[in-house]
Amino acid sequence: MGDATGLPAGRPRIRIVHTRQDGTRIKGSVPGDGVLGIVRHHGFMFFRSADEIGIRRSAGRTAKLGKINAAAEALRSAGFTVEVDISVDDALCIVHTRAEGTRLLGTVRGDGAWEVVRDLGFFASRYTGVFVRRSKGAPDRRLIDAAAQALRDAGYAVNVNIKEGSA
């Protein structure tokens, strides 16, 4: 028998999982439990070939935390128990070394990360990736912190790594 929301009672535990290889997928959902109707408004869809719910074209890209967190919150407000699992390897990383300068690692063409940091002075190159020109030497911590915050606000998972060594 259902509850006040019209969804079946005894809802399963839902896991939203993102890996770079598989993309973002929802685990633990069964047909008719109402999960698809809730998360569809947050960019998720049903993949008939894989018989699961996920975000289209998310494989090979960084996790879209904005969509994932919005879907998780919507599921929780509907009474589901939700766990979010994002692989640590899937975060973008802003790295600064004295030899190479400031670079944004983990981004792929078309994932939108460069568009977020472009106004902060980051450039994109086919050969060297996303970087800040003339940033070799001492790190510009304000720029790095601003870029990290802008990426987080846009829904990306971001790590910052500043290597102070002289190499």
**pLDDT averaged over the chain?**
85
50 and 82 inside one domain: yes
Report the alpha-carbon distance of residue 5 to residue 113 in Å, rounded. 38
Which residues lie across from 23 on neighbouring strands? 19
58 and 118 inside one domain: no
21 and 45 inside one domain: yes
DSSP SS3 for 119:
helix
What mean pLDDT do residues 20-32 have?
A: 89
18 and 80 inside one domain: yes
The answer to whether 58 and 43 are in contact (CB under 8 A) is no
Model confidence, pTM: 0.58
Please determine, for residue 38, whether its predicted confidence score (pLDDT) is greater than 70: yes
